Amino acid sequence: MKYRPIDAQLFIENRKRFVAKMKPNSIAIINANDEMPRSADGVFTFRQNPDLFYLTGVDQEKTILVLFPDCPNPKFREILFVRKTNKLLEIWEGHKLTQKEATAVSGIAMVRWTEESEVILKSLVNTADNIYLNLNEHGRKSSLSFPDKDVRFVQHMKEAYPLHHFLRAAPIFHELRAIKSEFELELMREAIRITDKAFRRVMNFIRPGVYEYEVEAEIIHEYLINRANGPAYSSIVATGKNACCLHYVDNNCQLQEGEMILMDFGAEYANYAADLSRTLPVSGQFTDRQKDVYNAVLRVFKQARAMLVPGTYLEEYHKAVGKVMEGELIGLGLLDADEVKKQDPKKPLYKKYFMHGTSHYLGIDVHDVGSKYRAMEAGMVFTCEPGIYIPEESLGIRIENDILVTETTPIDLMDEIGTPVEVEAIEEFMNVGV
């Protein structure tokens, strides 16, 4: 891995919190992600199962974690299975963790080879009453339609142990991962610092005539020279009318004088994500109209950011931000105040120009797990990303920072390192490079 070693105490503490949520005499089994075939004998770059990484810090395929806190034999209360290496494997794929190295990474004393897992599991499972298994459950999408490793493993376990009681591990992960520890916040801050460097790099690079993919290349270059894994998600680099497509990732058009360019990107460091959006004038100076729309989005952003406090629910928050946006759209002449008064509350008119949510959980995944039905708590991290999209003007503007909820005032993790956001700061940087 490119990132620096992580203190194993992070994963030790995460496991303590996880087993504290398990029912008595239960065993939990968490598998590594599949290696995904690309074509022929090639595979895509491996990305670890976030839940397994959260509990172990192991970033290697064919890894299995077993937690059995009530096991009669204390040696088997935590077991990590890792892939056994050999000379041929090292020649073709490189170094794999030794058992001693796996212990150093995870803090787990009992490390065995993955090929031993079936025999050891059989002896342990028959001692347990409940079996916690994991699936990629998410509020936005379920993995159940895709036969990945977790789905296949659930099917295997239910066939092999039909009389056991099976439980979902996902609700525990969703509860725990929503609150970030100081260890995790430091990893996220590093992802944010790298993202800030990439933004400053492209601010000096953007000009009429370059292509979106060239801007993307500058971003990725900055990631890699700063030890990031790479992008936390597919980078959006959208000039002109492309900015009105929310998930535009073709990144193949040329930047034209007078246009705005919307960029939505974030580095992934040690599997933790940053998520930044900025919209810049290609020529280095905002027109009056661009400035008016940009500042309207910025005012919404600042008010929305202030709402990210303990006790707030996401659905109520999104409605409140929508009302703020409504007023700004009226001020810009995009909505008629009288029409707004007569609108169907279930179909607010502002959604014509601001059609997405304002915030989502952020962490090991860019759309991290967490419940919209859970009130915000200190330690949660959310994006804040309002936008206005005007297709008839080929203009789309989005501003996004990453916000830490605290017991008092929210902390803007990008503002605390001075990531430029004000019109004047952007224009000065693009034209002077300071």
Does residue 413 belong to any structural domain of this protein? yes
- Residue at which a domain ends, from 150, 177, 204: 177
What is the pLDDT averaged over residues 13-31?
A: 98
Residue 4 belongs to a domain: no
Q: Per the domain annotation, does 86 fall within a domain?
A: yes
Tell me if 2 is assigned to some domain. Answer: no
CA–CA gap between residue 290 and residue 401 (Å, rounded): 20
| SS3 state of residue 412 | strand
Domain boundary among 143, 177, 211: 177
Q: Quick one: average pLDDT of 38-45?
A: 91
Which stretch of DSSP H or E encloses residue 65? strand 64-67
Task: Examine residue 3 and state whether it is found in any structural domain, yes or no.
Answer: no
Q: Of 165, 163, 160, nearest to 130 (Cα)?
A: 165
Q: Of 151, 177, 203, which residue is a domain's last?
A: 177
Which residues lie across from 384 on neighbouring strands? 401
pLDDT, position 388: 98
> What CA–CA distance (Å, rounded) separates 351 from 296?
15
The answer to whether residue 327 sits within a structural domain is yes
SS3 state at 170: helix
Taking only the tens place, the pLDDT of each residue in 142-195 is 444 556 889 999 999 999 999 999 999 999 999 999 999 999 999 999 999 999
Regarding whether 230 and 154 lie in a shared domain, the answer is: no
Residue 281: closest CA among 289, 273, 290: 290
| 21 and 164 both lie in a single domain | yes
pLDDT of residue 434: 43
The reply to whether 62 and 168 lie within a common domain is yes
- Identify the band that residue 109 occupies on the pLDDT scale cut at 50, 70 and 90: very high
Residue with tokens 């890699």: 224
Percent over 70 (pLDDT), the chain: 98
Q: Report the chain's mean pLDDT, rounded to a whole number.
A: 96
Q: How far apart are CA 69 and CA 397, in angstroms?
A: 51
Average the pLDDT over 6-30 and give the result.
98
Question: Do 127 and 220 share a structural domain?
Answer: no
Span 99-104, average pLDDT: 98
Q: How confident is the model at residue 81 (pLDDT cuts 50, 70, 90)?
A: very high
Asked if 188 and 173 sit in the same domain, the reply is no
369 lies in the same domain as 265: yes
Check pLDDT > 50 for residue 308. Answer: yes
User: CA 208 to CA 192: how far, in whole Å?
Assistant: 27
Is residue 210 located within the same domain as residue 68?
no
State which residues form the domain around 227.
182-432
Give residue 43's pLDDT: 92
Whether residues 239 and 358 fall in one domain: yes
Are both 128 and 197 inside the same structural domain? no
Alpha helices in 226-310 (DSSP H): 288-306
Q: Mean pLDDT, to the nearest integer, of 33-55?
A: 94
- Residue 269 and residue 2 in contact, taking contact as beta carbons nearer than 8 Å: no
Is residue 1 one of the residues assigned to a domain? Answer: no
Q: What CATH number does residue 16 fall under?
A: 3.40.350.10
Q: Are residues 198 and 64 in the same domain?
A: no
- Which domain CATH number covers 364? 3.90.230.10
pTM of the model: 0.96
Q: Of 276, 263, 277, 274, whose CA–CA distance to 192 is shortest?
A: 274
What tokens were used for 28? 């939990």
Is 230 found in the same domain as 378? yes
Residues with a known catalytic role: 41, 247, 264, 275, 356, 360, 367, 385, 389, 398, 400
Half-sphere exposure of 347 (CA within 13 A, CB side): 4
- Token pair, residue 374, equals 């859970």
Structural domain contains residue 186: yes
**How many structural domains comprise the chain?**
2
For residue 141, the model assigns a pLDDT of 60
Q: Looking at per-residue confidence, does 208 or 37 come out higher? A: 208
Residues 169 and 189 in one domain: no
Percentage of residues of the chain with pLDDT beyond 90: 95
C-alpha R_g of the chain: 24
Cα–Cα nearest to 420, from 278, 297, 306, 290: 278
- pLDDT tens readout for residues 246-303: 999 999 999 999 999 999 999 999 999 999 999 999 999 999 999 999 999 999 999 9
Residue 433: pLDDT above 60? no
- pLDDT value of residue 243: 98
- Please tell me the predicted confidence (pLDDT) of residue 143: 47
